[in-house]
Amino acid sequence: MNFELPSDLQDYISRIDAFIKDKILPLQHKDDNNRFFDHRRESSRTQWDNQGLPTHEWENLLRQAKKLADEAGFYRFGFPKEFGGAGSEHQNLYMCAIRYHLSSHPIYGGGVSLANDLQNEHSVVGNNPFIIMMHHYGTKEQQNKYIPASINGEFRSTFGLTEIYHGSDATHMDTTAKPITLPNGEPGYEINGNKKWQTGMHAATHSLVFARTSGQNGSPKGITAFIVPTNTPGFKVASYEWTLNMPTDHATVLFDKVQVPASAILGPVDNGLAIAQTFTHENRIRQAASSCGAARYCIERSVEYAKKRTVFGKPLSSNQAIQWPLVELSTQAEMLRLLILRTAVEMDQVTAACKANGSAPWIAIEKQLGHKIGMCNYYANRLCCESADRAIQIHGGVGYSRHYPFEHIWRHFRRYRITEGSEEVQIRKVAAYLFGYKTTGVEDKKSEAKL
């Protein structure tokens, strides 16, 4: 068993580092761009007098960095091969290793830099869940229309699953879509209801809206996904929700007799929740890698500080009260890193097997690896928050200040213990496998082999 990253991946990461050093960091340090990353970051990023939305200057800087990364050939690494991606058979492993590296790097790690600022999922190596969903479920016409537009920024979509009164249980929703005939005679649907926490709504051109088209609340069947333009009559942004880490771009949206053609449907009618599963599997493992990397960043910066800080005539690091918590966090981070990479390898193996037999990989991944992905994600997000909190404590007053990134890391990564499946929901999934309420299917095959 080889625990080393493949040599080509190590080379690729080295090339990313060189690109960041030569192109991205000079842009970050140009003029007064560091105001978006130093102690002024929250104020510089936020329009406090305009619903708390991101400032135009901040988002323009992110676009410049993305353009540089795309021109250098890094931004599309995780995209489908036909749209400029690497098309690697080790996609999940490579993306997890890259995201861990970018978040843990001693110079631009922690998710607070122009190379990899995770507050808004910005990175020189792009992570675009919509492209993954469109590649798996879109018609050829939809793929050719929306994927290139998404890459170049002309198509920007929110993910409309959570509602005002319904969160973790997506099988219960107030949003409905009923078949109608549009004024031009085309078959279509009328959507009524609401969605909440629609990230990126201030700049979105479309929203991927999940609505019940048949069946009863509580049933996973009967939910359909629609690609809805945000300028459609009846589509209304009701509010932007201010959050622990600002700026905000998380909106509450109302749908009042919103009419769309049947061609707006993404994926199978009445089976749209499978699309959400595709989104959560790959995004959760990548988020786990980022959270684990940010935890490592906090741990290593705390060790450095404790070694050079003198208290009562000796290094702060000589105190066991400082050593022991960092030892525990470091142990947990290293074990978690290995679990994340192992799970990513298994995801790639399942994907390859499914491609060989013509089946859907996301279904097999959910059944065989859903519990492991849940372990990685919930624990990584919790560990990052614990590591940031410990870093604040070890750094003392300056750790509590905004002159260090730890308070920003804690405020940002705290959201991931709630979003994309709360840690309670993910722990419940792990328990279902652990206590036999669910099986991976592998056990059944072993039993059949013995017979």
pLDDT digit string (tens) for 3-29? Answer: 899 999 999 999 999 999 999 999 999
Please report whether residue 424 resides in a domain.
Answer: yes
- Please report which confidence band the pLDDT of residue 450 belongs to, taking 50, 70 and 90 as the band edges: very low
Predicted confidence (pLDDT) per residue in 389-446, tens digit: 999 999 999 999 999 999 999 999 999 999 878 999 999 999 999 999 877 765 444 4
- Domain range for 35 is 7-128+275-435
Predicted confidence (pLDDT) per residue in 293-309, tens digit: 999 999 999 999 999 99
Please report whether residue 378 resides in a domain.
Answer: yes
pLDDT of residue 448 exceeding 60, the answer is no
- Based on the fold, state whether residues 261 and 322 are members of the same structural domain: no
Please report whether residue 27 resides in a domain.
Answer: yes
First to last CA, the chain: 30
- Based on the fold, state whether residues 318 and 356 are members of the same structural domain: yes
User: Residue 37 corresponds to which tokens in the numbers above?
Assistant: 């990353």
Domain endpoint, select from 236, 266, 296: 266
Predicted confidence (pLDDT) per residue in 217-271, tens digit: 999 899 999 999 999 999 999 999 999 999 999 999 999 999 999 999 999 999 9
Tell me how far apart the alpha carbons of residues 434 and 193 are, in angstroms, rounded to a whole number.
37
3-class SS at 288? Answer: helix
Nearest to 306 by CA among 290, 323, 289: 323
Task: Please report the pLDDT score of residue 444 as a whole number.
Answer: 46
CATH number at residue 180: 2.40.110.10
Nearest to 80 by CA among 154, 131, 43: 131
Domain endpoint, select from 266, 283, 301: 266
- Based on the fold, state whether residues 310 and 197 are members of the same structural domain: no
Task: Please report the pLDDT score of residue 297 as a whole number.
Answer: 98
Tell me how far apart the alpha carbons of residues 135 and 78 are, in angstroms, rounded to a whole number.
12
Q: Indicate the burial class of 201 (C-beta count within 10 angstroms; 0-12, 13-18, 19 or more).
A: buried
Per DSSP, helices labelled H in 46-197 are 56-71, 91-104, 129-137, 140-151
Task: Please report the pLDDT score of residue 451 as a whole number.
Answer: 35
- Based on the fold, state whether residues 29 and 122 are members of the same structural domain: yes
Please report whether residue 43 resides in a domain.
Answer: yes
Q: How many domains does the chain have?
A: 2
* Angle ∠(380,78,54) on CA atoms, nearest 5: 70
- Based on the fold, state whether residues 297 and 425 are members of the same structural domain: yes
Predicted confidence (pLDDT) per residue in 123-182, tens digit: 999 988 888 889 889 999 999 999 999 998 899 999 999 999 998 888 999 999 999 999
- Based on the fold, state whether residues 262 and 292 are members of the same structural domain: no
- Based on the fold, state whether residues 206 and 310 are members of the same structural domain: no
Task: Please report the pLDDT score of residue 371 as a whole number.
Answer: 94
Task: Please report the pLDDT score of residue 361 as a whole number.
Answer: 86
Tell me how far apart the alpha carbons of residues 194 and 162 are, in angstroms, rounded to a whole number.
9
Domain endpoint, select from 233, 266, 299: 266
- Based on the fold, state whether residues 416 and 296 are members of the same structural domain: yes
Single pTM value for the model:
0.94
CATH number at residue 26: 1.20.140.10
**Phi, psi values for residue 448, rounded to 5°:** -65, -35
Contacts of 181 (CB under 8 A, 6+ apart): 187, 188
- Please report which confidence band the pLDDT of residue 362 belongs to, taking 50, 70 and 90 as the band edges: confident
Whether the CB-CB separation of 259 and 192 falls below 8 Å is answered with: no
Q: What is the mean pLDDT of residues 280-296?
A: 94
Per DSSP, helices labelled H in 138-186 are 140-151
